[in-house]
Amino acid sequence: MTIRKLALSALTALSLAATPSVASEAGHIEDFAFSFEGPFGTYDRAQLQRGLQVYNEVCSACHGLNLVAFRSLTDETGPALEPDVMRAFAAQHEVEDGQGGYRTAAGPDHFGHSSLENAPDLSLMAKARAGFHGPYGLGINQLIHGMGGAEYIASFLLGFTGEETEQGGSVFYENRAFGGNVAMPPILSDDLVEYSDGTPATEEQMAQDVAAFLMWAAEPKLPQRKMWGFIGVLFLTLLASLLYLTNKRLWAPVKAQAKQG
């Protein structure tokens, strides 16, 4: 079976995983150390470029990325491709021309739609899935670790146990992250792609890279949002301090008079 056929059958599992279920919430999610986590985390440019390669060579066989424009690949806080490299990459794709045909894609165009009806678009998948669930629905783990959508995707791709179950003539595969059986076989294998930067293309490396790329696709302005959030916290801290000092000064004469009386 070719890589493309494997992708067409295998990445469909994300369509199953994208549907909320008791099984998926009970699954085991690994806590990977992504560079964009934490209040000061940013995207790793090299990792995003590798993740783009994994998406393009494996995931795009059936899953679209319709909310992401090719020109956004040049963002400095994203993959930061050179403009000519981005245009060459876009030219490898075709988009609808609005007249029932297709034309070569350009920078302003978006990635295509999913090629399978039951394969969800991956543009917002990292935000749609929650990797961490707090006790009693309070979301304590989400408060500490974040939503963990990238962890869910990476854990799902690495979560196959090797156990198979046949039901109704179809084979299902046990997945730890999903917490049950899914209709896709394991899709990743060592050296499935060849990274241009020389990074070993292990299963775990590819899973984390494509998960990071999909996180960027869902939250391309994450570093800017964190920066302005930090500035907002500083401003509110300064404002609270000034209000406290002002209140203390205004009430000082009243308190002094009360003590004398």
Dist CA 26 CA 210 (whole Å): 23
74: in domain: no
The two three-digit tokens of residue 65, written as one number: 């990325």
What are the distances in angstroms from CA 89 to CA 69, 109, 111?
Answer: 12, 12, 11
Predicted pLDDT of residue 144: 63
CATH number at residue 183: 1.10.760.10
**Do 248 and 210 share a domain, yes or no?**
no
130: in domain: yes
**Do 230 and 196 share a domain, yes or no?**
no
Predicted pLDDT of residue 172: 92
Whether pTM > 0.75 for this model: the answer is yes
**Do 208 and 261 share a domain, yes or no?**
no
**Do 59 and 160 share a domain, yes or no?**
yes
**Do 229 and 259 share a domain, yes or no?**
yes
* C-beta neighbour count of 220 within 10 angstroms: 19
Which domain does 243 fall in, by range? 223-261
**Do 118 and 52 share a domain, yes or no?**
yes
**Do 252 and 133 share a domain, yes or no?**
no
81: in domain: no
87: in domain: no
**Mean pLDDT in each 10-residue stretch from start to end of the chain (261 residues)?**
42 40 60 89 96 95 94 96 97 91 95 86 91 60 72 94 89 91 87 95 97 96 89 94 92 82 63
The SS3 assignment for 61 reads helix
**Do 161 and 252 share a domain, yes or no?**
no
**Do 209 and 149 share a domain, yes or no?**
yes
Q: Are 204 and 47 in contact (CB under 8 A)?
A: no
Predicted pLDDT of residue 26: 58
93: in domain: no
Dist CA 111 CA 62 (whole Å): 12
Nearest by Cα to 9 from 208, 187, 189, 207: 187
85: in domain: no
Structural domain count of the chain: 2
99: in domain: no
**Do 208 and 236 share a domain, yes or no?**
no
**Do 144 and 256 share a domain, yes or no?**
no
Helices 203-218, 149-158: inter-axial angle, 10-degree rounding: 150
148: in domain: yes
**Do 216 and 230 share a domain, yes or no?**
no
